[in-house]
Amino acid sequence: MGLQAVAFVEASDGLADASVQPGRSGTLGGVTPVLPNARRGRLRTSTATVYALCERRELLLGVGPEATREGEAVRAIVYTHYGPADVLQLKDVGKPTPGNDEVLVRLDAVSLNRSDWEGLTGEPFYARIGGLRRPRHQVLGSDIAGRVEAVGKDVQRFQPGDDVFGDILWHMGGFAEYVCAREKYLAKKPAGLTFEQVAAIPQAGAIALQGIRDKGQVRKGQQVLINGAGGGGGMFAVQLAKLYGAEVTGVDRGDKLNFMRSLGADHVIDYTREDFASTGKHYDLILDLVARRSVFDCQRALKPRGAYYAVGGPGATLLQIALVGPVVGLLTGKKLRVLVVKPSVTDLLHLANLCEAGTIVPVIDWRFPLNETPAALRYVGEGHVKGKVVVTVGHVDT
Ligand SMILES: NC(=O)c1ccc[n+]([C@@H]2O[C@H](COP(=O)([O-])OP(=O)(O)OC[C@H]3O[C@@H](n4cnc5c(N)ncnc54)[C@H](OP(=O)(O)O)[C@@H]3O)[C@@H](O)[C@H]2O)c1
């Protein structure tokens, strides 16, 4: 007899939703099974039975709370515990069904973000919000692009056949053939951009736009430093800061200096050789994608009334900036904060329009097919990526 597992099964409208609590050693690993056509109620069975049902395709391993249509399975990259890219597996999962305010998207492309790597490894600590010991979402991937296949009853802006893109960071599920996404996170794809291009925009573009335009309020002639300028957020931030007329310094690894120049950076610093906070230069705005320096070092690199915004980095540094930054700011007349990016469809459309017009460019460093998502994440985790990496599901016929 295998380990005991408890399945809670609830059926509605011919769809069934079940969850299983694994036995103490947790061999089901937190994946949520979905049992088609089950009766309302609680099903008690052994883990061995669950596996047997899965093998006979009477039970589908579903992901998240979504119900599935009987018998329909789609491919997804699943993980059930934090770790290196090897913990990811290509699996058949239940095809999700959209909730009232959701659309079902047949995915074509999904771009990777540092936040996917952080969600995979569970580091820094903020990557474990909602899932201290096990991941809250068993499928990563937040910057999605694809075609709407079905819509929930309250959806107003989309209909089947629409091409959409957006950031579903709070729900995830993009490394799959299908995902359900709330309408409010999605925008229509401009005809002049490919699915890969729009998939590269959402999270990195929002970081850059909200950091440079909204918080930074960058104006002509200002001195702006972008730390981590060769990655996803930095790639857009350099271009936007130039667009608003700033003189831009980009900081990143030595092999990205030419890349940062190609984006428009006026000055570049190799962080492995030089410390931007000790050069004696001062900036109106520092947008920090990696936050490796103390709040005290960063304030010294600011001009009077200058602003420093940290976007990502080690948890302890971000905590220090959030707690000590406002106090240091009060004493120095500068602003030192953590930037919390807010999802905005208006921002998505603005960025996409800039890309469609050729004003800014979403640079794609490398593409991987869905089944090579672990390699794609490893590539992101190891560094050296210039701009964005995209997983091409290639599912939409254009
Ligand atoms: N605050 C929010 O609301 C919010 C929302 C979404 C995402 N985020 C966070 O934003 C962060 C950045 O995102 P991203 O997508 O732009 O990351 P990314 O694509 O990985 O870019 C980071 C860049 O920084 C470089 N780098 C690494 N260490 C550095 C150092 N010590 N000094 C200077 N540069 C360094 C990296 O190069 P190498 O790795 O090659 O060295 C890479 O080019 C992530 O931590 C993510 O979790 C925050």
What secondary structure, in 3-state letters, does 342-378 show? Answer: CCCHHHHHHHHHHHHCCCCCCCEEEEEEHHHHHHHHH
Q: Which two tokens stand for residue 93?
A: 């999962």
DSSP 374-393: HHHHHHHHT----SEEEEE-
pTM for this model (two decimals): 0.84
Does the pLDDT of residue 22 top 80, yes or no?
no
User: Which numbered atom of ligand 1 lies nearest the CA of 253?
Assistant: 41
Does the pLDDT of residue 235 top 60, yes or no?
yes
For residue 257, name the pLDDT band (cuts at 50, 70, 90).
very high
Q: What percent of the chain has pLDDT over 90?
A: 75
Per-residue pLDDT of 126-172, as tens digits, reads 899 888 889 988 999 999 999 999 999 999 999 999 999 999 998 89
Number of Cβ within 10 Å of residue 316's Cβ equals 11
| Nearest CA residue ID for atom 42, ligand 1 | 231
User: Which numbered atom of ligand 1 lies nearest the CA of 385?
Assistant: 40
Q: End-to-end alpha-carbon separation of the chain, Å?
A: 50
Give, for ligand 1, the residue of 112, 113, 319 to mutate: max count of ligand atoms closer than 8 Å to Cβ: 113
Pocket of ligand 1 (CB under 6 A): 113-115, 118, 203-204, 207, 227-228, 230-234, 251-253, 271, 289-290, 292, 311-312, 339-341, 383-384
Least-confidence region, from 54-58, 253-257, 386-390:
54-58
Domains of the chain: 1-62 (no CATH), 84-200+365-392 (3.90.180.10), 203-338 (3.90.180.10)
User: How far, in Å, CA of 203 to CA of 120, rounded?
Assistant: 17
How remote is the CA of residue 312 from the centroid of ligand 1, in Å? 6
> To which H or E segment does residue 21 belong?
strand 15-21
Mean pLDDT of 357-361: 98
Please report the pLDDT score of residue 51 as a whole number.
Answer: 57
How remote is the CA of residue 289 from the centroid of ligand 1, in Å? 5
Mean pLDDT of 379-397: 89
Per-residue pLDDT of 166-215, as tens digits, reads 999 988 999 999 999 999 999 999 999 999 999 999 999 999 999 999 99
Q: What is the DSSP letter of 38?
A: P
Does the pLDDT of residue 255 top 80, yes or no?
yes
How remote is the CA of residue 233 from the centroid of ligand 1, in Å? 7
Which residue is listed with tokens 């905590």?
A: 319
For residue 397, name the pLDDT band (cuts at 50, 70, 90).
low
For residue 49, name the pLDDT band (cuts at 50, 70, 90).
low
| Nearest CA residue ID for atom 9, ligand 1 | 312
Please report the pLDDT score of residue 8 as a whole number.
Answer: 41
How remote is the CA of residue 76 from the centroid of ligand 1, in Å? 26
Estimate the crossing angle of helix 232-243 against helix 202-209, to 10 degrees.
40
Residue that wins the pLDDT comparison between 15 and 287: 287
Spell out a b/e string for 212-239, using b for 16 or more CB atoms within 10 Å of the CB, else e: bbebbebeeebbbbbbbbbbbbbbbbbb
User: How far, in Å, CA of 321 to CA of 251, rounded?
Assistant: 20
How remote is the CA of residue 330 from the centroid of ligand 1, in Å? 28
| Nearest CA residue ID for atom 35, ligand 1 | 228
Q: Amino acid identity of 281?
A: K
Q: What is the mean pLDDT of the chain?
A: 86
How remote is the CA of residue 114 from the centroid of ligand 1, in Å? 6
| Strand, helix or coil for residue 340 | coil
Least-confidence region, from 25-39, 57-71, 307-321, 343-357:
25-39
How remote is the CA of residue 228 from the centroid of ligand 1, in Å? 6
